[in-house]
């Protein structure tokens, strides 16, 4: 028997919350944006009236104002958005305990065991839309299907405030004509590779040759084909189930552009210090370091490299991250934002991969480990800003101290 999965997606969530709190916003084109003074001046969400002007999420404020000179801008209030998200998920949990948040404004629900109490998946979806509209004053769109991927495509199919049912009988008609980049985890770069190979739609993806997809996208290409064929069988997890940590990272949009090696080293060191501390707090080690660089013209590159041993030490992350940057970036060019992420996580130190022609780094590793554990103890007792790397103290590149940057970095 097929499962019944719902994907509930809040429409223009940040903007919807602001409109719920400030009804005067409902009748004007408005958008929630970051702080231009802190170089976070991009559109985070917009209401339907602003959307009609062609305003897009992640474009700059000046671009949006050029499209709509009368656009009303509201500052973001992330604490409020988290509160609204918790309230909405609490309503979902009144229908099933299988509620899996996908982000602050999206959740999957498995309602297969709720039929006798609440009716069909479509009926539950319509009731959730009505209740959240009335009780929370925001709208949601809901996809109803037999797996998670198609449920998400359903919630994106028609907006705002709509229910779309994707069945085994209609998915080829509704979903296969859609562009391939609408498929979960197919980004612009992957979509470009597929397009150059003649794969333009989800249907093309479902019918594509396995060898070709693997050559283009690696294992991810085969996974995308499975999703396109409707064969996703991943479960919806319980709301209270502990999530596996898959990566630990941090990003900073700096107070000014980083120019030259000294600036870049200071920025990278601050990020690595935060990431390493979080890894140690989770009792985890990373085996791969990933660096993302954003230039002042918003061009982004992302590179990564494996490590000779797993680590949760700032100095080792720093050396790897700087090696990536020096190899991949012209050090004379300015940098607007940096992200450092530890991936391929493990719960144990894998030890050093020894080479006969290279001296062992184990003694240095052990000394650094004791030093950074001592830093953790001092910060835990006296506060996160009580001690840090000397090279960061006088730096003017931060809006705040590096340790005060919120987990997950900036929403850009």
∠ CA 235-343-281, nearest 5°, is: 90
Name, in order, each residue with C-beta under 8 angstroms of 371's C-beta and a sequence gap of 6 or more: none
d(CA 73, CA 65): 9
d(CA 134, CA 169): 33
d(CA 194, CA 207): 13
Phi, psi of 391 (to 5 degrees): -70, -15
Residue 22 CA to its chain's centroid (Å): 28
Rg (CA), the chain: 24
The response to whether 349 counts as a known ligand-binding position is no
The single residue of 37, 48, 59, 106 carrying the catalytic annotation is 106
DSSP assigned state of 32: E
The response to whether 105 counts as a known ligand-binding position is yes
d(CA 18, CA 286): 39
∠ CA 168-172-176, nearest 5°, is: 140
- H-state helical runs in 159-304: 171-174, 188-196, 202-207, 210-217, 219-228, 260-281
Half-sphere exposure of 53 (CA within 13 A, CB side): 20
Residue 196 CA to its chain's centroid (Å): 27
Q: Which two tokens stand for residue 403?
A: 């340790």
d(CA 249, CA 275): 6
d(CA 302, CA 287): 17
Name, in order, each residue with C-beta under 8 angstroms of 346's C-beta and a sequence gap of 6 or more: 284, 285, 286, 287, 310
Contact 180, 199 (CB under 8 A): yes
Residue 106 annotated in active site: yes
Residues annotated as binding site for Mg(2+)? 9, 105
Residues annotated as binding site? 9, 105
Catalytic residues: 106
């Amino acid at each position: 028997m097929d499962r019944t999965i719902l994907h509930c997606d809040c429409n223009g969530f940040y903007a919807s919350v602001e409109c719920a709190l400030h009804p005067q916003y409902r009748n004007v084109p408005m958008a929630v944006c970051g702080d231009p003074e802190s170089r976070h001046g991009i559109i985070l969400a917009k209401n339907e009236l602003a959307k009609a002007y062609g305003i897009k999420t992640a474009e700059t404020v000046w671009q949006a104002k050029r499209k709509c000179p009368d656009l009303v801008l509201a500052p973001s209030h992330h604490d409020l958005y988290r509160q609204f998200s918790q309230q909405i998920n609490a309503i979902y949990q009144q229908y099933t305990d299988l509620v899996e948040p996908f982000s602050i404004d999206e959740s999957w629900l498995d309602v297969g065991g709720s039929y006798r109490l609440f009716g069909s998946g479509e009926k539950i979806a319509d009731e959730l839309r009505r209740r959240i509209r009335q009780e929370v004053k925001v709208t949601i769109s809901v996809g109803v299907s037999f797996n998670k991927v198609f449920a998400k495509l359903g919630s994106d199919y028609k907006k705002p405030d709509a229910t779309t049912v994707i069945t085994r009988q209609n998915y080829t008609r509704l979903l296969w004509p859609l562009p391939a980049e609408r498929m979960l985890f197919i980004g612009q770069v992957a979509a470009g590779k597929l397009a150059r190979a003649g794969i333009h739609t989800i249907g093309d993806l479902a019918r594509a040759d396995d060898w070709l997809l693997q050559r283009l996208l690696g294992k991810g290409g085969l996974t995308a084909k499975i999703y396109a064929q409707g064969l996703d069988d991943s479960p919806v997890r319980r709301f209270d189930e502990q999530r596996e940590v898959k990566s630990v990272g941090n990003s900073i949009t700096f107070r000014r552009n980083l120019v030259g090696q000294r600036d870049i080293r200071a920025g990278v060191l601050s990020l690595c210090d935060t990431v390493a501390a979080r890894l140690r707090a989770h009792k985890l080690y990373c085996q791969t370091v990933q660096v993302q660089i954003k230039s002042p013209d918003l061009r982004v590159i992302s590179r990564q490299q494996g490590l000779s041993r797993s680590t949760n030490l700032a100095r080792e992350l720093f050396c790897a991250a700087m090696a990536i940057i020096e190899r991949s970036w012209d050090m004379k060019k300015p940098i607007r934002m940096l992200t450092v992420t530890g991936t391929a996580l493990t719960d144990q130190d894998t030890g050093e991969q020894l080479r006969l022609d290279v001296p062992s780094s184990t003694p240095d590793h052990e000394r650094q480990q004791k030093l950074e554990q001592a830093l953790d103890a001092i910060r835990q007792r006296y506060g996160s800003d009580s001690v840090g790397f000397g090279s960061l103290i006088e730096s003017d590149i931060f809006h705040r101290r590096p340790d005060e940057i919120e987990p997950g970095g900036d929403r850009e």
